[in-house]
Structure formats: structure tokens, C-alpha cells
Amino acid sequence: MIEPPPRPGAPALGTPPATSRPSVIQLVFREKGALYAAYMPIFSEGGLFVPTTREYRLGDDIYLLLSLPDDPQRYPVAGKVGWLTPANASGGRTQGVGVRFPADEKTRALRVRIEELLGTTLSSTKPTQTI
């Protein structure tokens, strides 16, 4: 079988794809309601929904710079895409990705901080941006 020539700009056969740097996204939550809507306790280590029209795949690296309500500190999180909400999703859900937090002590402390901020809101039946 004869292989077609590679598309312009495409890597030659047998060439590993170029690794791209993780996206850096700044997330600022000014209100607890917005944090509740984005928080994803479905991930064992926690995570956040990030509205974006950029295309991602499960497992892609994303670096978040996170600001929480009434907290001057910015929290860096090196997460991975663990959830995809495509454009035109059912129920009018916002397009974006769920970013899984890594299993490290700093991020575990951040998850505890988020859950403390949300308090009893965590057990709410109010819909979120994901499930």
C-alpha cells in the first residue's frame, strides 16, 4: 500500500507529535455561588469546571491560577482534563472542561479550603455547571 504524502505542517510518519505546554487559565471566583456551580466533588481529589471554547481532550494538562472568594491568595493547580462539556450540550450547559486536581498535599489543602468555604452548600440539590 502506498502512503499518501503528509499534509503541509503535519509531522512525518513515525515522528512523535510535538508536546504542547499546558494551558494556563486564571479563574477568579468572587462569589460562593459561582464556586459552588464550578466545584466538582465527583473527582476523588476535587476539581473545577472551567468554561472555555478551546478544544481539549481527556487527560490534557491545564495549569490553573485560582482565586477564591474573600481570599487574597492565588492558588496554583497543575490539573488534568477529566470532564468535557461540548458546544451545544443538552440542557443549555456551558461549554468547557472539568479540571481534576492532582493528589498532592498542597492541592488537598486547597480542596479542604474550598469545601470549608462552601460548607452546607455542598449538599445542595441546586444544579451545577456539570452534573
pLDDT single digits (tens) 30-44: 999 899 989 998 898
The domain that holds 112 is classified in CATH as 2.40.10.220
Q: What is the pLDDT of residue 127?
A: 57
Q: Is residue 3 situated within a structural domain?
A: no
Q: How far apart are CA 81 and CA 100, in angstroms?
A: 6
Q: Is residue 95 situated within a structural domain?
A: yes
CA 56 to chain centre: 10
Q: Is residue 5 situated within a structural domain?
A: no
Q: Is residue 129 situated within a structural domain?
A: no
What residues make up the domain containing 87? 23-123
Q: What is the pLDDT of residue 121?
A: 73
pLDDT single digits (tens) 46-64: 999 999 999 999 999 999 9
Q: What is the pLDDT of residue 126?
A: 61
Q: What is the pLDDT of residue 17?
A: 46
pTM for this one? 0.76
**Total structural domains in the chain?**
1
Asked whether 129 and 51 are in contact (CB, 8 A), the reply is: yes
Q: Is residue 102 situated within a structural domain?
A: yes
Q: Is residue 108 situated within a structural domain?
A: yes
Residue written as cell 472551567? 50
Residue written as cell 499534509? 7
Q: Is residue 71 situated within a structural domain?
A: yes
Choose between 21 and 36: higher pLDDT: 36
